[in-house]
Chain A
Amino acid sequence: DVKVTQSSRYLVKRTGEKVFLECVQDMDHENMFWYRQDPGLGLRLIYFSYDVKMKEKGDIPEGYSVSREKKERFSLILESASTNQTSMYLCASSFPPPGTSGTSTDTQYFGPGTRLTVL
Chain B
Amino acid sequence: QKEVEQNSGPLSVPEGAIASLNCTYSDRGSQSFFWYRQYSGKSPELIMSIYSNGDKEDGRFTAQLNKASQYVSLLIRDSQPSDSATYLCAVGRGGYNKLIFGAGTRLAVHP
Which residues of A are interface residues toward B (Cβ below 8 A)?
31, 33, 35, 40-45, 48, 50, 56, 58, 90, 94, 96, 98-104, 106-113
How many residue-residue contacts, CB under 8 A, span A and B?
A: 68
Query: Which residue of the partner chain, among A35, A45, A101, A111, contacts B32 with CB atoms under 8 Å?
Result: A101
8 Å CB interface, B53-111 against A: 88, 90, 92, 94-104
Given known pairs A42-B88, A101-B95, A101-B97, the reply for A107 and B102 (CB within 8 Å) is: no
- What is the interface of chain B mostly: helix, strand, loop, or mixed? loop
Closest chain A residue to B95 by CB distance? A98
Closest Cβ of chain A: how far from B67's Cβ, in Å?
12
Closest Cβ of chain A: how far from B40's Cβ, in Å?
11
**Complex alpha-carbon distance, A110 and B43, angstroms:** 6
| B27 at interface, CB cutoff 8 A | no
Which residues of B are interface residues toward A (Cβ below 8 A)?
4, 8, 31-32, 34, 42-46, 49, 51, 88, 90, 92, 94-104
Complex A-B, nearest 6 residue pairs according to Cβ-Cβ distance, in ascending order:
A42-B103, A110-B43, A43-B101, A102-B31, A94-B97, A42-B101
**Complex alpha-carbon distance, A103 and B49, angstroms:** 10
Interface contact B49-A104, CB-CB below 8 Å: yes
Which residues on the A side are within 8 Å of B90 (C-beta)?
Answer: 108
